[in-house]
Amino acid sequence: MTDVTVEKRAFKSELQQILNLITHSLYSHKEIFLRELISNASDAIDKIRFNSLQNEHLVEGNRDWRIKLSADKAVGTLTVSDNGIGMSREDIIENLGTIARSGTRAFLDSLKQADAAVRPELIGQFGVGFYSAFMVADQVTVISRAAGEAQGVRWQSDGLGEYTVEPAEKPERGTEVILRLKAEEKEFLEPWRLRTIVKQFSDFIEHPIVMDVEKTEGETKTVAEETLNSRKALWLRSKADVTAEEHNAFYRQIANAFDDPVKVIHYAAEGMLDFKALLYIPKTKGFDLQFAEAKVGPKLYINRVQIMDHCEQLLPPYLRFVKGVVDCSDLPLNVSREVIQHSPLLEKIQKSLVKNVLAALEELKTSDYDTYVGVFGELGGILKEGLARDWDHRTQIADLLLFQSLKTEAGKFTTLAQYREAMPADQTDIYYLAGEQRSALEHSPSLEVFRHRGWDVLLLTDPIDEFVFPSLADYKGMALKAADREAPELPAEELKKTEEASGVFAPLLQALKGTLSELKDIRLSRRLKESAACLVADEGDLSPNMERLLQKMGRADAMGLGGPAQRILELNPDHPAVQALFQLHQADPGDARIGTYAHLLHDEAVLAEGSKLPDPSAFAKRINELIAKDAARS
């Protein structure tokens, strides 16, 4: 005769298809199953705590809230148990017999009118997390006893389409989930593996997660209960209650760092935007940032449960050096709770975080400048990317940048605000020059006119500068211009003198254009005061420094650069060498030396801009001929 107390039922949904989806497609990592079961246990405890506020008898004196993991290697089972609210027979059939029906969601819906101060924050939303257990188990048994009931219930399934429900003896309220692990999944019986998973995903669950651990001292073996999670969710505590030592320890834990952070950003956003953030600005560039494929972004938690180890959507790439945690219960997740869906709320969180990070950097620059100089030396190259990536915060990022300049001592810096404040009355634009080294830039012929007029020029030596600085077209109403492209407007008298000289030198310039046909143009210079010649890039052309960078990166061909862009050669009409060439041309336009000297002036300008000569041997030959002729005359 069939025992009527054991009831066999079919799942209400297409279980085989859905379980196949859950176990093979929904979750990217098998260990997620433990996070889901622990989260369910935590929810069950929160429910009984909430319900007991008005129904004290439900807790039956059992307030020692805990979630316990029990691994039995002999029979190959892993059990996750709790002393939460438990489930009745009807609850089990309703919640475990129907895929994607969430008891947590139903419970939340029933609490919409409850007092927010005592409403529990629950994790589950989709009702599928429980079924992730079938990724590692070929049989799952649930034994549960609901609060206020005397009889327990047993639910069991192999995940192949049916489950059984029957009465069960259970002395106390709560739920046990027993997983009979597949042969190839026995690693989840090892204490070290369970510790690792709990530490990664559930370290900050409010309730203790415990496990009996066997210890050996000499020949004596003992079993002691070990708490696996720290439960110290610093971001949920008041800012004033967290010590510097706690912050330093937590930062080292989440950032895999050995030093302390230079700045802590700890705040809670409430109202229309409800989340908690605990972010850290490091002193140095972390090892993870040395690799382009490294995953970055703060950790994302939903009510203490880690959802993503690195959530790149929370901060833009130019702030990828920031470490920390964001905890928000309102973000829409996909059904596996591993990936957050795109949402306006996420964009608002990012805006809030960016605002606070930039404000923290500005505060550090103002209050502890020397420390900020060191931090900027480590992270400034990454921060500068924001000039090209974040139009909304471009000015705030620009205010954080430090620059060497023509007027700063080596190793000292200025800011755009300081540069602007120190500008003479007749200067209306901000000028910069990019190159590889300060020493080379300082001697650039392009800077001679700026020295002559007492104007400062920013010296950009970070490779990223060439790529992002053009994005900063202006700073608070003042245009930023490259000193090797645009020279200052000359005073009226000097401009008149240059225009008159251009007419006088026109025949020579025309002759040189025929000799140096690889150049785009040859003209008299408004910028040279000491040097005989210099090369400048035409508007829209790549600078020589950019060309060199692309060549080093192996990107010159990809950018369509068959060779160096055509330059413009500028000559200083007041320089003795140019004057001599002019007189030589006046005396005999066909003199062969004109071509030789023209090439020498061009080679000199190529070297002055930091580029390589296209034909070093020809340059050496021309120099040697000059030496020989000079020696013969003497």
Chain-centroid distance of CA 216 in Å reads 45
The DSSP line for 618-632 is: HHHHHHHHHHHHHHH
How would residue 345 be classed by pLDDT, with cut points 50, 70 and 90?
Answer: confident
User: What average pLDDT score do residues 412-436 get?
Assistant: 94
1-17 burial, b at 16+ Cβ within 10 Å, e below that, comes to eeeeeeeeeebeeebee
**Residues in Cβ contact with 171 at an 8 Å cutoff, skipping those fewer than 6 apart:** none
Contact 9, 90 (CB under 8 A): no
- Which residues on adjacent β-strands are paired with residue 154? 143, 166
The Cα 240–Cα 294 span in angstroms is: 34
Question: E strand or H helix at 350, and its extent?
Answer: helix 344-367
The Cα 257–Cα 249 span in angstroms is: 10
How would residue 1 be classed by pLDDT, with cut points 50, 70 and 90?
Answer: very low
Chain-centroid distance of CA 547 in Å reads 28
* pLDDT for position 625: 82
Percent above pLDDT 70 for the chain: 87
- What's the number of CA atoms in the CB half-sphere (13 Å) around residue 481? 21
The Cα 470–Cα 485 span in angstroms is: 12
Residue the block writes with tokens 């307030």:
63
Contact 83, 59 (CB under 8 A): no
* pLDDT for position 121: 47
The Cα 600–Cα 183 span in angstroms is: 80
* pLDDT for position 558: 44
CA angle 88, 91, 93 (to 5 degrees): 110
Tell which residue, 348, 346, 359, 365, has the closest CA to residue 319.
359
Q: Looking at the chain, how many residues does it have?
A: 634
The Cα 170–Cα 160 span in angstroms is: 27
* pLDDT for position 110: 53
CATH numbers and ranges of domains, the chain:
7-227 (3.30.565.10), 234-372 (3.30.230.80), 403-489 (3.40.50.11260), 493-537+563-633 (1.20.120.790)
Tell which residue, 395, 307, 320, has the closest CA to residue 357.
320
Tokens standing for 214? 């066997």
How would residue 2 be classed by pLDDT, with cut points 50, 70 and 90?
Answer: very low
Contact 185, 30 (CB under 8 A): yes
* pLDDT for position 25: 57
Is the pLDDT reported for residue 159 higher than 50? yes
User: What average pLDDT score do residues 407-416 get?
Assistant: 94
Residue the block writes with tokens 């023209």:
598
Tokens standing for 342? 């795109």
Q: Please give the C-alpha separations between residue 510 and each of 492, 504, 599, in angstroms, as whole numbers.
A: 26, 11, 15
The Cα 532–Cα 128 span in angstroms is: 77
Is the pLDDT reported for residue 174 higher than 90? yes
| Average of per-residue pLDDT values in the chain | 86
222 phi and psi angles, rounded to 5 deg: -130, 160
Q: Write the DSSP symbol of residue 443.
A: T
Tokens standing for 29? 């990592």
* pLDDT for position 135: 87
* pLDDT for position 562: 53
Tokens standing for 500? 């008159």
Contact 442, 368 (CB under 8 A): no
* pLDDT for position 320: 94
Enumerate the H helices of 157-299 as residue ranges.
191-201, 244-255
**Residues in Cβ contact with 263 at an 8 Å cutoff, skipping those fewer than 6 apart:** 280, 281, 360, 361, 363, 364
Contact 593, 629 (CB under 8 A): no
* pLDDT for position 112: 52
Tokens standing for 49? 């705590």
How would residue 494 be classed by pLDDT, with cut points 50, 70 and 90?
Answer: confident
Tell which residue, 106, 107, 129, has the closest CA to residue 120.
107
Chain-centroid distance of CA 625 in Å reads 58
The Cα 48–Cα 58 span in angstroms is: 7
592-609 burial, b at 16+ Cβ within 10 Å, e below that, comes to eebeebbbbbbbbbbebb
Tell which residue, 349, 352, 319, 315, has the closest CA to residue 332.
349
pTM of the predicted model as reported, rounded to 2 decimal places? 0.76
Tokens standing for 344? 């306006």
Is the pLDDT reported for residue 111 higher than 50? no
User: What average pLDDT score do residues 323-352 get?
Assistant: 75
Mark residue 557 as left, alpha or beta (left: phi above 0; alpha: psi -120 to 50; beta: remaining).
alpha
